[in-house]
Amino acid sequence: MVNLVAIQMTSGPNVEENLAMVSHTLANSKLAKNSLVVLPECFACFGTKDGTLLSVAEPENVGKIQCKLSELAALHDCYIVSGTFPMQTENPLKFSAACLLFGPDGKTLADYRKIHMFDVSVDDNTGSYKESRFTKPGREVVVVETPIGNIGLAVCYDVRFPGLFTAMGDIDILVLPAAFTQKTGEAHWHTLVKARAIEKQTFVVAANQSGVHASGRETYGHSIIVSPWGETLAELPQGEGLIQANVDINERQAIKQNMPVADHNRFRSHFV
C-alpha cells in the first residue's frame, strides 16, 4: 500500500510563512512511511509580481526552499513533490517553474520544469495571464522509477496537453501541482484530472491552490486524489489542509489487463 497525500494552500508572497505552513501541516499529520506528499504550484511564493518571483529564484541544489523540503522529506521519511518554486536559469531575466521530487533520504530524485506556459485570457479579476514573460519553459518529460512506483511529473496547465502524458509511457502515479484559477477550475478541473487518470490508467494526485491571494487572484481549490478508474478517493473543496488516500498500486494491473488501452493505441506522440 502507498499513502498518497495532497496539501492544499493559500500561498502568499512570504517564502518563510509558506514553508512554515508546510512544516506545520506535516507535523500535525500522521503520515505512513514512504508517503508521497504533493504540494501545489507556486507553493513557496504566490500572489505577487513576477519580478518578486525572480528575486527569490534559487540556484540548483542551493537555497532555503530546497533545503527545507529536503529536511522535511528526511524528517517524515516520505517523498515530497515540491509543487513549483522559481529556479534560476542562464537568463537573468527569467526563472523556470521547478518541480522537484525529494526522496525519504532528503535527496533530489527528479527535476521537472513546467513545459506549457499559461499565456491566456480569462474572464476573472486578473483577466490576462502571461506566464512566459518571466518563466522559461522546460523541454524534458520526466518520469522517475521509485520503490513506490513509476511517478510522472506535470504542472497545472500541462494537464490540457494529453500528448505530454502519452510521452510518459507507463506510470503508476501522476503528480499534478496546480494553481488553477477559480474560473477555469470550476469549468474544467475535475474533467481534465479525471481524464488523465482514466486514459493513463494511473493514480493522480492533484494539489491545488485555494482562495483569494495577495494579488487578488482567486484559485479553485478542490485538491483531489483519483484512482485509475476515475474514482475520487479524496477531495478538499476549499481552504488549506491535507487529504490522503491509501492505495494499492497493483490495482492498476487488473484494470490494464481487462482494458489494455496502451496496447490498443494506434497513435503515438513525441515531444519535440
- Whether 269 maps to a domain, the answer reads no
- Where is average pLDDT lowest: 42-56, 119-133, 196-210? 119-133
Q: Which is more confident, 270 or 122?
A: 122
Looking at residue 50, its pLDDT comes to 67
Assess whether 156 carries a catalytic annotation.
yes
Instruction: Please identify which of the residues 156, 194, 200, 218 carries the catalytic annotation.
Output: 156
Mean per-residue pLDDT, 206-222: 95
* Domain count within the chain: 1
Looking at residue 51, its pLDDT comes to 76
- Whether 219 maps to a domain, the answer reads yes
Q: Which is more confident, 47 or 197?
A: 197
Mean per-residue pLDDT, 180-186: 94
Mean pLDDT, rounded, of the chain: 94
pLDDT at 49 over 80: no
Assess whether 99 carries a catalytic annotation.
no
Looking at residue 172, its pLDDT comes to 98
pLDDT at 110 over 90: yes
Find, among 67, 138, 145, 141, the residue nearest to 107 by Cα: 67
Looking at residue 271, its pLDDT comes to 52
Looking at residue 120, its pLDDT comes to 80
Q: If phi over 0 gives left and psi between -120 and 50 gives alpha, with beta otherwise, what is residue 222?
A: left
Looking at residue 118, its pLDDT comes to 72
- Whether 117 maps to a domain, the answer reads yes
- Whether 271 maps to a domain, the answer reads no
Q: How confident is the model at residue 5 (pLDDT cuts 50, 70, 90)?
A: very high
Domain of residue 170, residue span: 2-264
Please state at what angle helix 64-76 crosses helix 15-27, rounded to 10 degrees: 0
Find, among 42, 31, 111, the residue nearest to 72 by Cα: 31
Question: What percent of the chain clears pLDDT 70, i.e. is strictly above it?
Answer: 96
- Whether 270 maps to a domain, the answer reads no
Mean per-residue pLDDT, 246-271: 88
Looking at residue 98, its pLDDT comes to 98
Instruction: Please identify which of the residues 68, 94, 114, 200 carries the catalytic annotation.
Output: 114
pLDDT at 109 over 80: yes
Mean per-residue pLDDT, 212-238: 96
**What CATH number has the domain bearing residue 229?**
3.60.110.10
Looking at residue 32, its pLDDT comes to 94
**From CA 70, how far away is CA 75, in angstroms rounded?**
9
Question: Quick check: 59 and 88 in contact, CB under 8 A?
Answer: yes
Q: Tens digits of per-residue pLDDT, 113-154?
A: 999 987 787 777 666 677 888 999 999 999 999 999 999 999
pTM of the predicted model, to two decimals?
0.95
Cell 509511457, residue located: 169
**From CA 57, how far away is CA 84, in angstroms rounded?**
11
Looking at residue 232, its pLDDT comes to 98
Instruction: Please identify which of the residues 41, 45, 94, 218 carries the catalytic annotation.
Output: 41
Question: Quick check: 85 and 43 in contact, CB under 8 A?
Answer: yes
- Whether 272 maps to a domain, the answer reads no
Degrees (nearest 5) of the Cα angle 151, 155, 161? 95
- Whether 203 maps to a domain, the answer reads yes
Looking at residue 272, its pLDDT comes to 44
- Whether 75 maps to a domain, the answer reads yes
pLDDT at 267 over 70: yes
Q: Tens digits of per-residue pLDDT, 23-32?
A: 999 999 989 9
